[in-house]
Amino acid sequence: MHISHMLIDGTSVSSRKVDTIFNPASGEPVAGVAVGGREEARLALEAAKRAFPVWSSMPAEERSEVLREAARLVRQRRDEIARLLTLEQGKPLKSSRSEVLSAADVLDYYAEEGKRNTGQWLAGPHSRSIVLRQPIGVAALITPWNYPVDLLSWKVAPCLAAGCTFVSKPPSLAPLAATEFVRAVSDAGLPAGAANVVHGPGGTVGAELVESPISRKIAFTGETATGRAVMAAAAARIKRISLELGGQSPFIVCADADLPAAAASAAHRAFSNMGQICVSVNRIYVADEVAEAFTDQLVSLAESLKIGDGMQPGVELGPMFSSQQREKTKEHVADALERGAELLAGGSEPEGEEFSRGFFFRPTVLGRADHSMRVMMEETFGPVAPIMKFRSVQEAVALANDTEYGLAAYVYTGSLKTAMQVAEGLESGGIGVNVNSVIDRQAPFGGWKQSGLGRELGRWGLEAYLETKHIRVGVWKE
């Protein structure tokens, strides 16, 4: 069986402890992974510290060339990285290929953005002020299993473009594709130690990365509860942190919305990747007068999606990532039904021998939902779309804001006035108006409230890895 090794100081590193990664579609072993601990994390941090002066002193144009080459290598190795991603995570192979190509595009974007790190010259009567933006140092990058390549690229690319070096900890149960992504980046011409990967649990490897005096920047994507723990640990040394945490995204359908477009968008964002997306549609609010028509269309779309092993052609939805994720989804559905919701589609595992060994679950639509139900107030992270009616746009906004989360929200309407009023009233870091995605490489991404701290992507993503320095120079007249 293939063993995925760690990458420390430019060298593949094995371990006495090897965990097995299993395919969530079949339960079959995919590969082994060398598991490290605090010692390996410490060695990787030290390697990144040694590489930092070399990489950070390199001209931005030369770093840009390396990032361009990294993007080329990722595209060249797309099929193998995507295959590993589908085998370990479950998503359809087509989606995995798209994720890998998106990660390459992020590398290309920051290859250019890194060259735009311009300073300022400020003139005073007796002095001149120079404002510089310089790389912060060694970064610790901790990422989740739902988009292990794409979300890692959001950190790796701006980190390197800024002149920083890093140690990454990929998800313990899905580390294969992320590790190969970093290997491709490292092979592009980085100095040894600039890019490192350490496998292992958050309680040991993650803790060392966050607590060590070497790391000066922590970038974490994951659950809100874990994010709070990361923030508390980083506070001991006043570290710069970026946290992209949980969501509970509302989807508002106004009476004047294009219903076919709204239903198609809601279905895609609620069910793709089996709902295991931080910006997934978690709850749908529909104007009373169009609720029946919208619901019928959403149910039809949910029932038409093809479920199966992600390696098979034509599959639109793979398995859920784990039995724990599926059980949580089933618990949320059961709780909603007990509290008066109506099951309109899905709600159970698909029947058939081909689904018996994987963590499959049918796309689920619930009617008569309300805020007494867990599915409306907690992040399900599963393929469930609960629907609640509203009578006024003001009521819809109030319902949408009735949560501790604020990562993404969506509104469908034919009125520009309504769109702007709703978008400005929603307490969320990203608002999609007549689109079901708030992600754009050139725009900031991040959450309000308990959904996070800081921003990724765009120039904001680069700034997260830079420190500001003011140099004041006295001048005198002859």
Catalytic residues: 244, 278
Q: Write down the residue that tokens 């600039």 correspond to.
A: 194
Cβ-count burial 26-48 (b if 16+ within 10 Å, e if not) = beeebbbbbbbbbebbbbbbbbb
- Report the C-alpha gap between 338 and 335 in whole angstroms: 5
- Which two structure tokens, joined as six digits, stand for 231? 């923030």
How far is CA 79 from each of CA 71, 76, 197, 376, rounded to the nearest angstrom?
14, 8, 21, 38
Q: Are 411 and 422 in contact (CB under 8 A)?
A: yes
Q: Write down the residue that tokens 């219903």 correspond to.
A: 259
Contacts with 274 (C-beta within 8 Å, 6 or more apart), sequence order: 90, 91, 317, 318, 319, 320, 321, 361, 382, 383
306 by Cβ neighbours in 10 Å (0-12 / 13-18 / 19+) ranks as: exposed
Q: How many residues does the chain have?
A: 478
Q: Write down the residue that tokens 């990203």 correspond to.
A: 430
- Report the C-alpha gap between 406 and 426 in whole angstroms: 8
SS3 assignment, position 14: coil
- Report the C-alpha gap between 147 and 101 in whole angstroms: 13
Q: How many CA atoms lie within 13 A of 152 on its CB side?
A: 34
Which residues on adjacent β-strands are paired with residue 366? 343, 386
The one-letter amino acid at 470: H
SS3 assignment, position 312: coil
- Report the C-alpha gap between 17 and 356 in whole angstroms: 30
CA dihedral 396→431→250→407, nearest 10 degrees, is -130
- Report the C-alpha gap between 245 and 450 in whole angstroms: 7
- Which two structure tokens, joined as six digits, stand for 15? 């371990």
- Report the C-alpha gap between 471 and 229 in whole angstroms: 36
φ/ψ of residue 283, rounded to 5: -155, 140
Q: Are 222 and 144 in contact (CB under 8 A)?
A: yes
